[in-house]
Amino acid sequence: MLTVSVKWQKELLKAVEIDTSQPPYVFKCQLYDLTGVPPERQKIMVKGGLLKDDADWSTVGLKQGQKLMMMGTADEVVKAPEKGPVFMEDLPEEEQVVSLGHSAGLFNLGNTCYMNSTVQCLHSVPELKSSLVKYSHSGRNNDVDQTSHMLTIATRDLFGELDKSVKPVAPMQFWTLLRKKYPQFGQLHNGVFMQQDAEECWTQLLYTLSQSLRSAGSSENLDTVKDLFGIDLASRIHCQESGEETSETESVYSLKCHISQEVNHLHEGLKHALKSELEKASPALGRSAIYLKESRINGLPRYLTIQFVRFFWKRESNQKAKILRKVDYPLELDVYDLCSDELRKQLEGPRQILRDEEGKKLGLKANEKSSSSKDDVKMIDGEGSSNASGESTVTTSQEGVPSDKETRLTGIYDLVAVLTHKGRSADSGHYVAWVKQESGKWIEFDDDNPIPQREEDIVKLSGGGDWHMAYICMYKARTVLM
């Protein structure tokens, strides 16, 4: 064992012991403890040059009491934090919401899971929330009755509470006004409020909001809800017996997925639902005849809602029975082949651009025809609102100056919410919302209990048993800026 002194900067470290049975690296670790200079930064001058980590002490030629010179800068001293650790429960509620990454749950007020799950799904649409925020107490136009106006106010306030709270919210005011506007949701059985159909709640609430949020006297965005959820259908109605043919158009807020023995996938169910037979009077035949109605999508929404037609009226039991058949649905849905020829032509350009953009991400060469003239096209998640033709309003740049580019729909959609039902009847069982957050994470909202879920488990809610199965799916449009 040798004892040396080490000169480092203005300090002289006296009586530093060296265990010559250990490599020099151990000595450097001793000096690190004394000076804070990491071994890799230490330059120790010895006979013949610098002391190496694995040098042989016998060849270094150190003597008892020898003075060594060391160069090197110490690690920065870690400062004590100005503030101590802050626990999440000590943060303001708004910051707790951000930390959690999802909004609050809703208390079940007595068989109100149908309502809670509907609210959680619609609450996930930022454009709807933005429109509601702008709606004021005095904003009612003459076409809206007082009850609809108050229900819209309650929806706005409830959405605001969900965004600000980490603790479950009791939607008492909203529920009271929902029952006042739609008395069927206030049905009692043995003094207890009955379970209701979530799809009916979804439809009625959207109808109310569509009336309230319509901009009276405005030349643009006349109906916010239609811009966000409205689907335009063009139908051909043909009678094979008489040869008569007519056409009609209609606007709906959801597509239906019919379920039969032939349907195993959502896309098949949608195709079945766009074809139907109906019996009506034939002017040419002077009697009733069978007509075939074939529909095509002629205008796409920003958010595509699909209802799985799982319930039917069973005469024997005098109640709505449930079809338990498994019907798979995708995370990404392409409805191009369900569109009219006119709409397909409008979608071709945006779809090519989307393919080129996704190809670039994969390192593929873009289609020369489309990329040569549209180099500055960007793919976006879709803010703003689309019109019936599948185009959208003019966008605004970050500086607030209107841009000459438009957000265009592609016919491709990404799954953002699933409302499921567990049980055998629409008027019993349990409803739950599964909602994709802005972070990309999925949260299961089981009334007042939000539970994180994996994306791969969301598509397993496809039915085939008594577990939760998809009843309503909501998809968000994948768009391009061009």
Give the per-residue pLDDT at 375.
43
pLDDT score of 364:
65
Q: Return the structure tokens found at 125.
A: 């649409």
Question: Quick check: 368 pLDDT over 60?
Answer: no
Q: Residue 369 pLDDT > 80, yes or no?
A: no
Q: Which amino acids are annotated catalytic? A: 113, 430
Alpha-carbon torsion (447, 452, 458, 462), positive or negative: negative
Average pLDDT over residues 160-183: 94
What pLDDT does 465 receive? 78
Q: DSSP secondary-structure letter at 58?
A: H
> What is the pTM (predicted TM-score) of this model?
0.74
Helices 198-212 and 172-181 cross at an angle (nearest 10°) of: 90
Higher pLDDT, 313 or 45: 45
C-alpha triplet 123, 124, 126: angle, nearest 5°: 95
DSSP code of residue 77:
P
Most confident of 60-64, 157-161, 287-291: 157-161
Mean pLDDT of the chain: 84
Distance separating alpha carbons of residues 311 and 164, to the nearest angstrom: 36
Q: Pick from 128, 118, 475: which is nearest to 305 by CA?
A: 475
Using pLDDT thresholds of 50, 70 and 90, give the confidence band for residue 91: low
* pLDDT for 392 beyond 60: no
Residue 274's contacts (CB-CB under 8 Å, 6 or more residues apart) are 233, 294, 295, 296, 338
pLDDT at 393 over 80: no
Does position 154 have pLDDT exceeding 60, yes or no?
A: yes
Supply the DSSP symbol for 109: -
User: Collapsing DSSP states into helix, strand and coil, what is residue 388?
Assistant: coil
Closest CA to 320 of 466, 427, 430: 427
User: pLDDT by residue (tens digit) across 433-481?
Assistant: 999 998 899 999 999 999 999 999 999 999 887 789 999 999 999 999 8
Q: How confident is the model at residue 395 (pLDDT cuts 50, 70, 90)?
A: very low
Q: Assign 362 a pLDDT band (cuts: 50, 70, 90).
A: confident
Maximum distance among all Cα pairs of the chain, rounded to whole angstroms: 124
Give the whole-angstrom CA distance, residue 471 versus residue 463: 9
Can you read off the two tokens belonging to residue 20?
């010559």
Domains, in order of start, for the chain = 2-71 (3.10.20.90), 101-214+224-345+406-481 (3.90.70.10)
Residue range 163-192: average pLDDT? 93
Could you report the per-residue pLDDT of 252-291, keeping only the tens digit for each?
A: 999 999 999 899 999 999 999 999 988 888 888 889 899 9
Mean pLDDT, range 52-70, rounded to an integer: 87
d(CA 113, CA 165): 19
CA distance 83 to 78: 14
With a CB cutoff of 8 Å and minimum separation 6, the contacts of 153 are 135, 137
Task: Report the range of poorest mean pLDDT among 81-85, 106-110, 126-130, 411-415.
Answer: 81-85
pLDDT at 74: 83
**pLDDT band for position 379 (50/70/90)?**
low
C-alpha dist (Å) from residue 391 to 345, 387, 410: 12, 6, 9
CB atoms within 10 A of CB 278: 10
Provide the pLDDT for residue 398: 43
